[in-house]
């Protein structure tokens, strides 16, 4: 008997809002090459060829919460070697961008909290805060178990 493969099911919109990550955007009128050397995984969105980067995006190292991720990014900033730290200090903007995936529920999303100590630490390194909300998108569900998990999570979020 031939085994039938389950086809993935598409859900129209993202069912649950959730915290995604924190990215760090650094922009400068001068080259950010020393920062790129310190953070080789950083992306250079507008860089063409070998031109000196003037905008870097460092994806957060991941964390369960925005606070945890921001604290990890702050540790990376404090650990910068002197040339890269000088580059950081001279940058025009240093933006901690908190990403939130919008969903169909819950009605209000209150999962991103930054206490005053974290906000003060961002300020001490010359940073600013941005919150980006990504619109709901189509999701693909690969198994009945995954669908059941999402439905249960959605029901819990609605209280």
Mean pLDDT of the chain: 85
pLDDT at residue 157 in the model: 56
The two three-digit tokens of residue 135, written as one number: 């619109």
Give a yes or no: residue 12 inside a domain: no
Which residue range forms the structural domain that includes residue 46?
Answer: 18-102+114-138
**Inter-residue contact 130 to 96 (CB < 8 Å):** yes
Q: Give the residue-averaged pLDDT of 20-24.
A: 94
Q: Is the pLDDT of residue 45 over 60?
A: yes
What is the per-residue pLDDT across 102-127, written as a single tens digit (0 to 9) for each?
877 777 778 888 999 999 999 999 99
pLDDT at residue 111 in the model: 82
The two three-digit tokens of residue 109, written as one number: 């999303």
Helix%, strand%, coil% for the chain, nearest 5: 30, 25, 45
Give a yes or no: residue 109 inside a domain: no
- Beta-bridge partners for 10: 140
This prediction has a pTM of: 0.77
Q: Is the pLDDT of residue 2 over 60?
A: no
Give a yes or no: residue 61 inside a domain: yes
When divided into structural domains, the chain yields a total of 1
């Amino acid at each position: 008997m031939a085994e039938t493969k389950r086809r993935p099911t598409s859900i129209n919109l993202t069912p649950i809002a959730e915290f995604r990550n924190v990215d760090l955007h650094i922009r400068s009128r001068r080259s950010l090459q020393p920062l790129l050397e310190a953070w080789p995984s950083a992306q250079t969105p507008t860089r063409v060829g070998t031109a000196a980067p003037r905008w870097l995006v460092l994806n957060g190292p991941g964390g369960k919460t925005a606070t945890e991720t921001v604290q990890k990014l702050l540790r990376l900033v404090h650990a910068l070697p002197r040339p890269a730290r000088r580059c950081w200090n001279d940058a025009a903007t240093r933006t901690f961008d908190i990403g939130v995936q919008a969903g169909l529920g819950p009605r209000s999303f209150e999962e991103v909290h930054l206490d005053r100590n974290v906000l003060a630490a961002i300020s001490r390194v010359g940073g600013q805060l941005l919150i980006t909300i990504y619109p709901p998108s189509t999701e693909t569900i690969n198994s009945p178990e995954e669908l059941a998990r999402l439905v249960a999570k959605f029901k819990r979020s609605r209280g």
